[in-house]
């Protein structure tokens, strides 16, 4: 990639947002014509006097936007957006495969929830069902297991329950992207 075409090719980027402003940011960016992805999950909250189902962001304080970096300033002008997530002061694109894996989980009828980011464990690939081809880390084994899918640049993960028979073990070597992400992704601001 040459300097003159840097940022011209659209990609998926994570935006760091103000706390509890993810939905407003996603709606505003969509209204501006950007393709936005805000994965959410439903959980039951208990208050003193009532219980209620609430929909929360799967990755609190983050919204994903598909854009070229030439539109960076327009994205950053959106109320509630602090900065792009990246390394060394530059926004870093998120691999399409990671976004696709999270989309498949959200679109499935499987129970999904946030999960602490993991770097160790057996890497597995889903062999059948709505998540076929998705790769993640196996966390628990019984009749059901938890498959942890990660957005490495955010050091965030989600867990989805799967039948053990639907996953196959992959090679156990740790990928270079895990090593890079574990060194600490930092949010970058507009230059």
Q: Provide, rounded to the nearest whole percent, the portion of the chain with pLDDT above 90.
A: 47
- Give the model confidence (pLDDT) of 17-27 as tens digits: 999 999 999 99
Query: Which segments of the chain does DSSP mark as H helices, in order?
Result: 22-31, 72-76, 96-107, 176-182
How many separate domains does the chain show? 1
Residue 60 half-sphere exposure toward CB, CA atoms < 13 A = 8
What domain range is 128 assigned to? 3-188
pTM: 0.70
CB atoms within 10 A of CB 83: 18
Residue 14: give its domain's CATH number.
Answer: 3.30.70.940
- Give the model confidence (pLDDT) of 81-112 as tens digits: 999 999 988 999 999 999 999 999 999 988 88
């Amino acid at each position: 990639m040459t300097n003159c075409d840097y940022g011209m090719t659209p990609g998926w980027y994570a935006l760091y947002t103000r706390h509890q402003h993810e939905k407003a940011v996603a709606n505003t960016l969509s209204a501006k014509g950007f393709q936005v992805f805000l994965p959410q999950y439903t959980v039951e909250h208990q208050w003193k006097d009532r219980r209620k189902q609430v929909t929360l962001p799967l990755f609190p304080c983050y919204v994903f936007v598909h854009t070229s970096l030439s539109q960076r300033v327009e994205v950053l002008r959106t109320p509630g957006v602090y900065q792009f997530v990246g390394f060394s002061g530059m926004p870093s694109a998120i691999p399409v495969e990671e976004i696709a894996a999270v989309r498949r989980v959200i679109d499935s009828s499987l129970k999904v929830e946030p999960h602490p980011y993991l770097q160790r464990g057996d890497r597995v690939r889903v062999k059948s069902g709505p998540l076929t081809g998705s790769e993640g880390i196996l966390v628990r084994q019984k009749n059901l297991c938890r498959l942890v899918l990660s957005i490495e640049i955010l050091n965030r993960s989600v867990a989805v329950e799967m039948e053990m028979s639907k996953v196959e073990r992959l090679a156990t070597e740790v990928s270079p992207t895990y090593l890079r992400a574990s060194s600490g992704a930092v949010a970058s601001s507009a230059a």
